[in-house]
């Protein structure tokens, strides 16, 4: 029985590895997402402290259940703040889109009430540093991890373009000890209107930010191609409006057009892997 359980778990991890070869979270971490999500939703809150970073004033909560303790970031920005439209619900929608696309870069995120207010609660991923600290401290990325970090950068640009995340900063691009990229802070995502539906935030034709995708996983591009209004609605549930989903679909076409133009100019082998 034990051998069967071991083989069964190995098969689950292998399936996760096959479907998310480009994911930054490890296969065993991805396999734990449902468990972590349930933990975040049901565990007792035993401690709260202000993080002291970020304009959305996140609060770090410590949770305990069945002898296990974990930390998570709770936030509930809503409406116009500092000239930007904020929404805690976009944190959850971004995580669900991450799962739909097999991205594997955003920590598990759920809805959770705290002090009588609704907000998003995101698992506190174990990371080593941020892009901001790398730049400020002039940290050299080891040569053996340069390819990994470059690929994570291009994945981030493509994903941010699709969900119209206008708040990607050096502070919210994080790295694990072994240089896997982890993404947080998506409360300024899923923009709508012509400004965010007619042009991407990244790419050759991006306004004010002509940073290309360069190289992307073929399976990730295939999942973007497969997106439909219905598949996104099923994934994100009540956290996006129909108008916001239609804006994602408009950007889907722009992302795919950008990739097609890259392939025509450079050849498929240099763009997709």
| Interatomic CA distance for residues 164 and 240, integer angstroms | 13
| Interatomic CA distance for residues 229 and 97, integer angstroms | 12
Residue 7 has pLDDT above 90, yes or no: no
Instruction: Classify strands 84-87 and 173-175 as parallel, antiparallel or unpaired.
Output: unpaired
Instruction: Classify strands 117-123 and 109-114 as parallel, antiparallel or unpaired.
Output: antiparallel
Confidence class for position 81, pLDDT limits 50, 70, 90: confident
Going by the DSSP 8-state scheme, the letter that residue 83 receives in this structure is: T
Residue 9 has pLDDT above 70, yes or no: no
Residue 108 has pLDDT above 50, yes or no: yes
Confidence class for position 55, pLDDT limits 50, 70, 90: low
Domain borders along the chain are: 33-123, 129-271
Distance of CA 226 to the CA centre of its chain: 19
- Predicted TM-score (pTM) of the model is 0.89
**183-210, pLDDT tens digit by residue?**
999 999 999 999 999 999 999 877 656 7
Mean pLDDT value of segment 215-235: 97
Whether residue 235 contacts residue 192, with contact meaning beta carbons closer than 8 Å, is answered with: no
**Of 57 and 62, the one with more pLDDT:** 62
């Amino acid at each position: 029985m034990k051998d069967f359980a071991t083989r069964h778990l190995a098969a689950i991890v292998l399936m996760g590895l096959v479907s998310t070869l480009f994911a930054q979270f490890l296969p065993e971490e991805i396999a734990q997402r449902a468990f972590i999500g349930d933990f975040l939703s049901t565990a007792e809150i035993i401690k709260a402290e202000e993080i002291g970073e970020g304009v959305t004033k996140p609060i770090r909560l410590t949770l305990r259940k069945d002898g296990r303790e974990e930390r998570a970031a709770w936030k509930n920005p809503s409406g116009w703040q500092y000239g930007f439209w904020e929404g805690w619900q976009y944190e959850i929608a971004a995580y669900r889109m991450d799962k739909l696309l097999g991205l594997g870069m955003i920590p598990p995120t759920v809805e959770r009430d705290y002090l009588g207010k609704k907000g998003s609660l995101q698992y506190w991923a174990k990371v080593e540093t941020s892009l901001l600290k790398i730049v400020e401290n002039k940290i050299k990325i080891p040569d053996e991890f340069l390819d990994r970090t470059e690929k994570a950068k291009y994945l981030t640009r493509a994903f941010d373009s699709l969900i119209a995340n206008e708040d990607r900063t050096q502070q919210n691009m994080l790295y694990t000890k072994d240089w896997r990229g982890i993404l947080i802070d998506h409360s300024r995502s899923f923009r709508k209107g012509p400004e965010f539906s007619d042009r991407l935030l990244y790419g050759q034709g991006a306004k004010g930010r002509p940073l290309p995708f360069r190289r992307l996983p073929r399976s990730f591009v295939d999942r973007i191609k497969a997106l439909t209004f219905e598949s996104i609605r099923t994934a994100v549930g009540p956290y996006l409006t129909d108008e916001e989903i239609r804006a994602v679909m408009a950007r889907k076409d722009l992302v795919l057009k950008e990739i097609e133009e890259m392939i025509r100019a450079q050849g498929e082998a240099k763009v997709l892997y």
